[in-house]
Structure 1
Amino acid sequence: MDVREPARRRALQALSAHVPGAAAGTVSELGHGLDNAAFLAGDLVLRVAEDGHSVRREAGLPAVVAERVSVPVPAVRFAAEDTGVLAYPLLPGRPLLGRQAPAGLARRMGRFLGELHAIDAAAVDGLVPVEDADPGEWLEDLDGPAELLRILRDGVPPAAARRVLAHADLGAEHILEHDGDVTGVIDWSDAAVTDPALDFARLHRDFGPDFLAQTLHAYGGLPDADDIGPRIVFFARCAALEDLAYGRDHGRSDYAQAAERSLGWLFPS
């Protein structure tokens, strides 16, 4: 049986409960990643959490964020806690995974992160967890080439002293683009009050060091600039190995190829 079939059934169950009559049609798969699967029913995205994540708590976050940032985020239609399904109208565009960044994206993402990280943590109290993002813990279950793992173990940076509201999974697969414009940032299931380096790390992984430099410039400076750099690189390296293993283990060549490409700038010889 297709491992995604249970997720499809949960999506249909939630759709039937919250949009009567809609489940008579079919749902098509939009994509799946490490933590979620997404399906489309008409113009409604049904994102199914695969780890028991509390979608009801997550449902309150986009409304807080949308008022304060310049990039669209999903507007939640309903959250079905019993099935782990979060539903929102489809945003235009498609993910940037495996594609080149359009001109101006780094500046746009720098501005977006400046806005996001400026949100008072009190505004999302109870909606997202507070996490330390201890770099050492990222190595516990990480798999990959022995030499690259050795490099990571030999250079674990100290944990951050500063925390902000972060998306915390801001990879290319969660950035939507259409006609050269950013049309949305999706999948806020990992959002937390945590180390800001996490939001720069996956941009570094997916788009490279020049993109990162432009993003940081548009961000407007960091109060802990001397400390955050090593954490950005460390988290980017870990995230690349994580995606490499996921892509190879689950037949996702898009993830594996993107991760392999990033190793060139993350682990220069």
Structure 2
Amino acid sequence: MDHSAHGRVRRALRRNAPALAEEPLRRLGEGLDNVAFVAGDMVLRAADEPERVYREAGLLALLAPRLPLPVPVPRFADGEGVLAYPLLPGRPLLGREPGAGAAQQLGRLLRALHSVDPAEVAALVPVEDADPGEWLSELAGPPALVRAVRSAVPARSGQRALCHADLGAEHVLEQDGEITGVIDWSDAAVTDPALDFARLYRDFGPAFLTTALDVYGGLPGAGPRIEFFARCAALEDLVYGLESGRAEYADAARRSFMWLFPDAEPAGTP
């Protein structure tokens, strides 16, 4: 039996969408935890943990009618770890400038998302501590930047909300200046809401963050945590981009150093 992602997707199509079973599979992308393909008008994401896929499908079904931006609406979740949903329009914003209204749109999205009662999703997502100290254990990158992160570690927060928890530019779709969807909810958790703003800050800069927070209604006391998590996430993307050959991640991380590490840039970047 073919246990590759391609083979699992093909079998899932035969079981759940036979009309697409013989459609060509076009590889859409790959992350740390999954591989995505397109068949016809459908995205098929193959992950290694079927139970996690079922939980994500349940979460998306709950969130889709409540959020002000489109999210994938599951067509099926398969026992081999395949999640299928209609292809959303647009391209990821990784390496591109967002439209003029993107910060407002994402601020409204996070206000709605973080307002969901954690009790409603207790069976669908984990509760994660988001202890800044734990983020240091695998921190790597240019020594000057790692030292800068280690010199300013904020205290852990007791704030908790339902979060996307990986809201980077690669998961925000845009077309003609409008955000058309937010994808890949596999890391969603009840955790520190600062995490969702941190990657927006990393990818789009301080003015974007300020606008998103204003529309959201503010997150008092979160500034140091947003900066810390953004710095860690930028170093993580730099290492990932260099080790995987995904230059777009490394390039975006280096760009973010201009505002995340203004005193260390450019000497601290490889």
* TM norm. shorter chain > 0.5: yes
1:7 aligned to which of 5, 8, 25: 5
What residue is the counterpart of 2:250 in the other structure?
256
- Name which of 147, 165, 189 aligns with 2:186: 189
> Cα RMSD (Å) of the superposition?
1.5
Paired positions, count:
261
1:243 pairs with one of 237, 241, 244: 237
- Pick from 8, 25, 28 the counterpart of residue 27 of structure 1: 25
Q: Give me the whole-angstrom Cα distance separating, in 2, the residues matched to 1:246 and 1:52.
A: 25
Is residue 50–residue 82 contact of structure 2 (8 Å, CA) maintained in 1?
Answer: no
Partner residue of 2:77 out of 76, 79, 94: 79
Extract unaligned runs of 5+ from structure 2: 264-270
Aligned to 2:137: 140
Alignment of 1:13-162 (within 5 A): 13-50=11-48, 54-81=52-79, 83-162=80-159
The question of whether the paired residues in 2 share the 8 Å contact of 1:56 and 1:79 is answered with yes
**For residues 196-211 of structure 1, what are the structure 2 equivalents within 5 Å?**
196-211=193-208
Contact 1:34 1:246 in 2 (8 A): no
3-state secondary structure, aligned to 1:97: coil
Contact 1:133-1:159 within 8 A present in 2 as well? yes
Distance 2:135 2:161 in 1: 19
- TM-score normalized by the length of structure 1: 0.93
SS of the aligned residue for 1:24 comes to coil
**How many Å separate the matches in 1 of 2:226 and 2:51?**
26
Question: 1:132-189 CA deviation, whole Å, 9 max, x = no partner?
Answer: 1111111212221111111112211111111000000000011111111111111000
Instruction: Give secondary structure in 1 for the equivalent of 2:185.
Output: coil
| Gap regions ≥5 residues in structure 1 | none
- Give deviations 1:98-140, integer Å, cap 9, x for gaps: 0001111001111111111111111112011111111111121
Contact 2:50 2:78 in 1 (8 A): no
Q: Which amino acid aligns with 1:103?
A: A
| Distance in 1 (alpha carbons) for counterparts of 2:206 and 2:182 | 21
Aligned to 1:231: 225
Given that residues 37 and 50 in structure 1 are in contact (C-alpha distance below 8 angstroms), is that contact kept between their aligned partners in structure 2? no
* Structure 2 CA distance for aligned equivalents of residues 39 and 187 of structure 1: 13
TM-score by length of 2: 0.93
Secondary structure in structure 1 of the residue aligned to 2:15: helix
Q: Is the 8 A contact 2:57 2:83 kept in 1?
A: yes
Tell me how far 1:21 sits from its aligned partner: 4.8
CA distance, structure 2, for counterparts of residue 216 and residue 204 of structure 1: 10
| Letter paired with 1:71 | L
Counterpart for residue 169 of structure 1: 166
- Cα deviation code 1:178-229 (max 9, x no counterpart): 111111111000001100001000000000011000110111122xx12x11
User: What is residue 215 of structure 1 aligned with on the other side?
Assistant: 212
Q: What's 2:266 paired with?
A: none
Of residues 263, 266, 269 in structure 1, which corresponds to 2:260?
Answer: 266
Does the Cα contact within 8 Å between 1:98 and 1:258 map onto a contact in 2? yes
Of 163-172 and 8-17, deviating more is 8-17
CA deviation after TM superposition for structure 1 residue 51, in Å: 6.2
Return closer, same or farther for 1:147/1:196 CA change in 2, 3 Å cut-off.
same
